[in-house]
């Protein structure tokens, strides 16, 4: 099989080397998505900005990343694979170098660096998926995406732990001293990215057919503003609440209008910028909804649990990261296995089993107390992540499976876009539910003077009820997904129109 | 142990559903799932309601010594936490030779109170209510959680005999100002009092202590 695989110029491809380069490069790029979370406090002091200001480093990444994903459909059909990947790596390296050298009086420069990193992440996330599918045949589609799942599931989960470890103290590794400050977070990934870039010059080949499509500027502007505004609105929910007209309602409404116009426009184009007709396929639609729910369930709890462990339990960012680390590793280990099993059985059985595990692993968090043994948190989290590993990539494989070969780039872009938007909205829902329940239960500040102990107790209870509410909501999302999973096809699905392609 | 059991059931359900044939996979899957739900249920019950545990009360009584350099009588200092005055920070000395006094701040699991007792020695009584496992079976099941002996609540009672006095830190400050003689007559009166006390202390030290405590109470009007 591997000896038959040729690139677009008819030269043989080293499949393993190419896949490895793709996965490692993407891993360091996607790692940046979450790795600044634990570093925000130290960045606040270094750059002398407030917490709302420093939050922008995360928001800008999320927005730019989300804007890039729909554009990826165009990029993947227009730009040869090799140059697309090399430019993504180069953009990432430039962004990271800027971050390393940013003087502490130029916060905007760090924002630019983050935006560049996000552009790279927005390119590689879909690229990784499309290339993996092209490298491996239809019969090992699950295996290919299983490896992709290892990266997109593990990198965001490892990010906070890794930076927590870096920030904890100075480390000496192979005679090199890694200083315990935020610059090291960027410095550590830099050599890896450079090495991957250099080797990719030789081993990365153009594997996807390209067509000379013209960039439709109207679509580009519409998708950028539409998705950008929706992502912006959902990022602002945690600070301003759902009811804030200027920060949340207005941008979301505008975003929705632009997207509606975008969709209408796409349906009338001969060669759409983002082919939304893939939604006409019922299986694709169901699997995309399920992937989105899985993503909400994963990212939402990934965000809420560290807050609980740091605020209620007083754990350091490193230790709270370590509590969740086994779960992330579990997901990494199971993801390729899930891919292998998808190739054997199809998605349905895996997904139903997976969602029941996620559900069983989420409900107990509703009973979290201030003394819950951390080992139980780790265990339940592992159970959840095992379930997520069994659902996410088999679902994506299944979504890709129902599409024709020439629709894969489009399907990937659509699938990933919806997933990103759903994740931001889901996180916004969970964090705002948590915050509003906490606010409702927060005791009056006069009690703090009258009886500080009673005040502390009520604050603790308020925090716990907030966490309980958001975990209950997460469990609700999973339950919906579990029920929807029964509408999946039995067995492995393949495109309905293979005949005309063979003919 | 419970984690191992959970793992085995997950593995059973997983392997049955993924690798076994039609008939057997249903059996394995059902058993596996019942097992998973039961073990997660037990974990939840333990982490939320201390399932498999009971409370055990232990009491520890230790002597305590005056927080100040008072001679013949003892002082327990305290400072109310917040304006409601439900809980106090207490200051005393653990050992007679301690240079620095011990300061005990209350927390969410601790409550304190004071009690008058007979005799001439002050005590600090700690009553701890802890969660312990009911039997070895549950201990084996959940021991990995490390919650055996987890403190539920702590009740601290400060037992003061008649030759001890409990003062707020503010009262102790006022006392010093009020006790310092200003005029010559006052100085003479104090000297006379000291002499009488010294004599009494020789014959009946406890009575001397009680007398001093009464004097302080009179001075501070408490």
Nearest to A449 among B82, B87, B144 (CB): B82
Q: What is the pLDDT of residues A390-415, one digit of tens each?
A: 998 889 888 888 888 778 888 888 98
Predicted local distance difference test score (pLDDT) of residue A2: 42
Residue B85 has pLDDT above 90, yes or no: no
A451/B48 touch (CB, cutoff 8 Å), yes or no: no
Cα separation, A44 vs A36, in Å, equals: 12
Interface test with B, best of A338, A340, A379 (most B CBs within 10 A): A379
Q: Name every chain B residue with its beta carbon within 8 A of the beta carbon of A341.
A: 18
* pLDDT tier for residue A3 given thresholds of 50, 70 and 90: very low
Cα separation, A18 vs A103, in Å, equals: 37
* pLDDT tier for residue A12 given thresholds of 50, 70 and 90: confident
Cα separation, A346 vs A179, in Å, equals: 47
Average pLDDT, integer, range B133-159: 91
User: CA-nearest residue of chain A to B35?
Assistant: A360
How far from the centroid of its chain's Cα atoms is residue A263's Cα?
A: 24
Residue A501 has pLDDT above 50, yes or no: no
* pLDDT tier for residue A1 given thresholds of 50, 70 and 90: very low
Q: Name every chain A residue with its beta carbon within 8 A of the beta carbon of B146.
A: 373, 375
Interface test with A, best of B10, B20, B42, B47 (most A CBs within 10 A): B47
Q: Which of A21-25, A452-456, A490-494 has the lowest mean pLDDT?
A: A490-494
State the burial class of residue A268 (Cβ atoms within 10 Å of its Cβ: 0-12, 13-18, 19+). exposed
Q: What is the pLDDT of residues B176-208, one digit of tens each?
A: 777 777 778 878 877 887 787 777 877 788 888
Predicted local distance difference test score (pLDDT) of residue A498: 42
**Given CB atoms, is A490 within the 8 Å cutoff of chain B?**
no
User: CA-nearest residue of chain A to B84?
Assistant: A450
Count of Cβ atoms closer than 10 Å to residue A62 Cβ: 21
Strand order in the sheet with B110-116: B53-63, B123-133, B150-160, B110-116
Average pLDDT, integer, range A159-179: 78
Tell me what percent of the residues of chain B surpass a pLDDT of 70. Answer: 100
Average pLDDT, integer, range A315-334: 87
Closest of A63, A65, A480 to residue A294, by C-alpha: A480
Residue B121 has pLDDT above 80, yes or no: yes
Residue A9 has pLDDT above 60, yes or no: yes
Predicted local distance difference test score (pLDDT) of residue A500: 37
Residue A248 has pLDDT above 80, yes or no: yes
User: CA-nearest residue of chain A to B107?
Assistant: A453
**Given CB atoms, is B91 within the 8 Å cutoff of chain A?**
no
* pLDDT tier for residue A499 given thresholds of 50, 70 and 90: very low
Q: Where are the beta strands (DSSP E) in B117-180?
A: 123-133, 150-160, 164-168
CB A361 within 8 A of CB A383: yes
3-state SS assignment for residue B155: strand
Q: What is the pLDDT of residues A62-91, one digit of tens each?
A: 889 889 988 888 888 888 888 999 999 999
Higher pLDDT: A450 or B46? It is: B46
Q: Name every chain B residue with its beta carbon within 8 A of the beta carbon of A375.
A: 3, 144-146
Angle at A302 between CA A149 and CA A387, to 5 degrees: 50
Closest of B65, B205, B183 to residue B123, by C-alpha: B65
User: CA-nearest residue of chain B to A337?
Assistant: B18
Q: Name every chain B residue with its beta carbon within 8 A of the beta carbon of A386.
A: 10
Q: What is the pLDDT of residues B49-74, one digit of tens each?
A: 999 999 999 999 999 998 888 778 88
Give the range with max mean pLDDT: A35-49, A196-210, B142-156: B142-156
A453/B106 touch (CB, cutoff 8 Å), yes or no: yes
**Given CB atoms, is A413 within the 8 Å cutoff of chain B?**
no
Average pLDDT, integer, range A360-385: 93
* pLDDT tier for residue A4 given thresholds of 50, 70 and 90: low
Average pLDDT, integer, range B157-170: 90
Q: Where are the beta strands (DSSP E) in B5-117?
A: 53-63, 74-81, 87-92, 102-104, 110-116
* pLDDT tier for residue A503 given thresholds of 50, 70 and 90: very low
Give the range with max mean pLDDT: A241-250, A430-439, A471-480: A471-480
* Chain A to chain B Cβ contacts (< 8 Å): 82
**Given CB atoms, is A313 within the 8 Å cutoff of chain B?**
no
Predicted local distance difference test score (pLDDT) of residue A492: 65
Cα separation, A96 vs A195, in Å, equals: 14
Higher pLDDT: A490 or B12? It is: B12
Predicted local distance difference test score (pLDDT) of residue A493: 62
Q: Name every chain A residue with its beta carbon within 8 A of the beta carbon of B18.
A: 341, 344-345, 349-350
Closest of A137, A118, A135 to residue A60, by C-alpha: A118
Q: Name every chain B residue with its beta carbon within 8 A of the beta carbon of A360.
A: 36-37, 40
Q: Name every chain A residue with its beta carbon within 8 A of the beta carbon of B34.
A: none
**Can you tell me the ipTM of this complex?**
0.84
User: CA-nearest residue of chain A to B25?
Assistant: A349
Average model confidence (pLDDT) across chain B? 88
CA distance A145 to chain B (A): 19
Average model confidence (pLDDT) across chain A? 86
Predicted local distance difference test score (pLDDT) of residue A123: 92
Closest of A315, A302, A314, A326 to residue A375, by C-alpha: A326
Q: What share of chain A is helix, strand, coil (3-state, %, to 5)?
A: 80, 0, 20
User: CA-nearest residue of chain B to A344?
Assistant: B18
Which residues of chain A from 366 to 405 reach within 8 Å of chain B, CB to CB? 367-369, 371-373, 375-376, 379-380, 383, 386
Residue A118 has pLDDT above 90, yes or no: yes
Average pLDDT, integer, range A18-22: 90
CA distance A444 to chain B (A): 14
Closest of A189, A200, A27 to residue A97, by C-alpha: A189
């Amino acid at each position: 099989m591997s000896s038959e695989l040729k690139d677009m110029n008819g030269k043989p491809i080293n499949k393993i080397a190419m896949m490895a380069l793709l996965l490692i490069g993407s891993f360091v790029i996607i790692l940046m998505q979450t790795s600044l979370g634990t570093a925000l406090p130290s960045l606040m002091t270094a750059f002398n900005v407030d917490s709302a200001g420093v939050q922008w480093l995360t928001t800008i990444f999320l927005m730019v990343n989300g804007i890039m994903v729909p554009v990826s459909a165009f990029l993947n059909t227009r730009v040869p694979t090799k140059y697309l990947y090399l430019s993504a790596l180069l953009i990432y390296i430039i962004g990271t170098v800027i971050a390393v050298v940013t003087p502490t009086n130029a916060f905007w420069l760090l924002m630019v660096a983050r935006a560049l990193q996000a552009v790279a992440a927005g390119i590689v996330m879909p690229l990784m998926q499309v290339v993996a599918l092209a490298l491996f045949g239809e019969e090992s589609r699950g295996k290919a995406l299983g490896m992709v799942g290892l990266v997109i599931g593990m990198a965001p989960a490892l990010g906070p732990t890794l930076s927590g470890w870096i920030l904890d103290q100075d480390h000496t590794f192979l005679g090199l001293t890694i200083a315990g400050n935020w610059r090291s977070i960027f410095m550590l990934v830099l050599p890896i990215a450079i090495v991957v870039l250099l080797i990719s010059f030789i081993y990365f080949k153009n594997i996807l057919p390209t067509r000379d499509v013209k960039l439709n500027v109207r679509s580009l502007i519409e998708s950028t503003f539409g998705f950008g505004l929706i992502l912006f609105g959902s990022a602002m929910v945690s600070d301003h609440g759902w009811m804030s007209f200027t920060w949340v309602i207005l941008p979301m409404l505008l975003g929705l209008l632009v997207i509606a116009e975008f969709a209408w426009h796409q349906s009338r184009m001969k060669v759409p910028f983002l082919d939304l007709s893939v939604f006409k396929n019922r299986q694709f639609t169901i699997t995309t909804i399920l992937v989105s729910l899985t993503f909400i369930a994963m990212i939402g709890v990934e965000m809420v649990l560290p807050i609980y462990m740091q605020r209620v339990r007083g754990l350091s960012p490193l230790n709270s990261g370590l509590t969740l680390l086994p779960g992330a590793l579990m997901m990494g280990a199971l993801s390729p296995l899930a891919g292998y099993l998808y190739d054997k059985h199809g998605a349905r059985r895996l997904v139903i089993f997976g969602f029941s595990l996620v559900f069983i692993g989420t409900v107990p968090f509703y009973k979290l107390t201030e003394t819950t043994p951390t080992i139980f948190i780790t265990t339940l989290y592992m159970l959840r992540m095992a379930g997520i590993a069994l659902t996410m990539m088999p679902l994506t494989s299944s979504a890709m499976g129902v599409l024709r070969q020439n629709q894969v780039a489009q399907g990937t872009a659509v699938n990933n876009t919806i997933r990103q938007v759903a994740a931001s909205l889901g996180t916004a829902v969970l964090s705002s539910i948590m915050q509003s329940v906490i606010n409702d239960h927060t005791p009056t500040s006069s009690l703090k003077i009258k009886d500080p102990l009673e005040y502390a107790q009520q604050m603790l209870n308020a925090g716990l009820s907030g966490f309980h509410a958001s975990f209950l909501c997460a469990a609700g999302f999973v339950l919906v997904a579990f029920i929807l999973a029964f509408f999946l096809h039995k067995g492995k699905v393949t495109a309905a129109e293979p005949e005309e392609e063979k003919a | 142990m419970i984690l191992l059991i959970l793992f085995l059931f997950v593995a059973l359900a997983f392997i049955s559903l993924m690798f076994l044939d039609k008939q057997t996979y249903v059996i394995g899957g059902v058993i596996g799932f019942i097992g998973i739900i039961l073990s997660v249920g037990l974990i939840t019950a333990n982490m939320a309601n201390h399932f498999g545990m009971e409370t055990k009360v232990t009491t520890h009584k230790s002597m305590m010594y005056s927080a100040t350099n008072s001679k013949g009588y003892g002082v327990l200092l305290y400072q109310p936490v917040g304006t409601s005055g439900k809980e106090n920070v207490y200051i005393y000395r653990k050992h007679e030779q301690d240079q620095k006094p011990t300061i005990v701040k209350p927390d969410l699991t601790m409550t304190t109170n004071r009690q008058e007792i007979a005799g001439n020695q002050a005590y600090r009584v700690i009553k701890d209510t802890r969660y312990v496992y009911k039997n070895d079976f549950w201990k084996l099941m959940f021991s990995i959680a490390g919650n055996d002996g987890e403190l539920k609540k702590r009740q601290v009672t400060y037992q003061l005999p008649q030759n001890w006095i409990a003062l707020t830190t503010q009262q102790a400050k006022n006392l010093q100002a009020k006790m310092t003689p200003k005029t010559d007559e006052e100085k003479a009166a104090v000297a006379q009092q000291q002499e009488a006390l010294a004599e009494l202390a020789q014959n009946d030290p406890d009575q001397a202590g009680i007398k001093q405590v009464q004097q302080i109470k009179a001075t501070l009007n408490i």
